[in-house]
Amino acid sequence: MISTATAQWQQRDREHHLHPFTDARALAEKGVNVITRADGVYLWNSEGKRFLDGMAGLWCVQVGYGRHELAAVARRQLEELPYYNTFFQSATPPAIDLAAKLGDLTPAGLGHVFFANSGSEANDTAAKMVRAYWNLMGRPEKKTIISRHYAYHGVTMAAASLSGLTPMHTLFDLPLPGFVHVAAPYWYREGGEMSPDEFGVQAARAVEEKILELGPDKVGAFIGEPVMGAGGVIVPPATYWPEIQRICRAHDVLLIADEVICGFGRTGPWFGCDTYGIAPDMMTIAKGLSSGYLPISGVMLHDRVAEVLIDKAGEFAHGFTYSGHLVCCAVALENLRILEEEGIVARAGAETAPYFQARLGELTDHPLVGEVRGVGMVAAIELVADKAARRPFDESRKVGTTCRDLCLENGLVMRAVRDVMVLSPPLVISRDEIDDLVALARRALDATAAAVAAG
């Protein structure tokens, strides 16, 4: 029996609340899981049940839950000056300080930031900047943006067009014209008999083929997550990004790195671009920038792109009421201080993330597990019907969803993308907590195997 409070919340939720990426009818039948508090890597629901949050919320709570410093900074800022915009030749100290800090922290040359509120808005902004840049360069035909199947870049009209997940397109008549998709570097599913390195080059060449098919004078940019996240944690072979970089340079195509998940230590170093040696023209950031405590995102621009917009655009007619919201900026600055001064990114990269990958790798021996892959503190466990043949389960069996539900029952938040179980815990997760996570994951895999066997 659930408590009266939980039952009431579930009823009100059912009656009034539409959820993102949710089958509303199925949720109404089941009743929503009401999360009421959190600390460190753990969440509790309204029934007092504890969950180890293997997803850091939605890939974002790098510093873990319950950091009072972040609440204190937000409160101080709200009391001193709760809002002022960055339009009309104004700014606030937190927005200026965060812009400067990001200029220092992000890879070389990314000296300017344009603030927004979500990853989707950042990617929409980047797409508009591509158009503006090539218009200002006198090449108005050079506008098409190439993205990839399995990409996730958000849900606004342009960001969803950039995304490469079919369900995000069909209901909404997307993608818009000017957005095209090529194969992802998904070696496990699409690499066949090739070595990962051979396949990495081939997958990158799909971008070049598309550029040549459309004409280099028609292609404005390529966008990619250094490691694809919501598409199923697709870790690129080592050969992929160097070849992409070469292709973009050769054809004068802007390279946009979507670091919304990878940024702020998720793949080990501070940015996925550091992990893979990518030198982007634009980089979008969100999530870990504030550890999800408040919404904030941004587009980092390389100086050579920023200079064109600054020198030639006149008024840049784009921006959000909350671009550079000072409370969010103050919290982001404090979050970056914590990540840096407490050595959270450094320690995760050097110690706990390798431990996380090694322990998860042990699950490869499980009969359901085709591949365990990952980098830094992000990983996937791909479930298959036949390990030797890498044969997936029939989609209708919903094995991933079963596993996700069994994880929750066992007190672990592990998300399912198709039959790929994905993990992205807070960077502060300890070795003991990693041991707990792996034990819970194994228990859920055993229960899933039993459910599969029972048909």
Ligand X SMILES: Cc1ncc(COP(=O)(O)O)c(C=O)c1O
Q: Which residues lie near ligand X (CB under 6 A)? A: 58, 118-120, 123, 152-154, 225, 229-230, 258, 260-261, 286
- Tokens 């792109």 found at: 305
Inter-axis angle of helices 93-105 and 326-341, to 10 degrees?
A: 40
> What is the torsional sign of CA 423, 425, 427, 430?
negative
**Closest alpha carbon to 259 in 41, 106, 420, 56:** 106
| Separation of alpha carbons 57 and 66, rounded Å | 13
- CA 191, distance to chain mean position in Å, is 24
Which lies closer to ligand X via its Cβ, residue 42 or residue 59? Answer: 59
Which lies closer to ligand X via its Cβ, residue 98 or residue 116? Answer: 116
Which lies closer to ligand X via its Cβ, residue 229 or residue 324? Answer: 229
Q: How far is the CB of 198 from ligand X (least distance, A)?
A: 26
Which lies closer to ligand X via its Cβ, residue 163 or residue 245? Answer: 163
Which lies closer to ligand X via its Cβ, residue 70 or residue 422? Answer: 422
Which lies closer to ligand X via its Cβ, residue 285 or residue 444? Answer: 285
Q: How far is the CB of 22 from ligand X (least distance, A)?
A: 14
Q: How far is the CB of 446 from ligand X (least distance, A)?
A: 30
| Separation of alpha carbons 7 and 175, rounded Å | 40
| Separation of alpha carbons 411 and 136, rounded Å | 53
Q: How far is the CB of 7 from ligand X (least distance, A)?
A: 30
List the beta bridge partners of residue 65.
40
Q: How far is the CB of 155 from ligand X (least distance, A)?
A: 6
Q: How far is the CB of 260 from ligand X (least distance, A)?
A: 3
Closest CB to ligand X belongs to which residue? 119
Which lies closer to ligand X via its Cβ, residue 164 or residue 220? Answer: 164
Q: How far is the CB of 310 from ligand X (least distance, A)?
A: 26
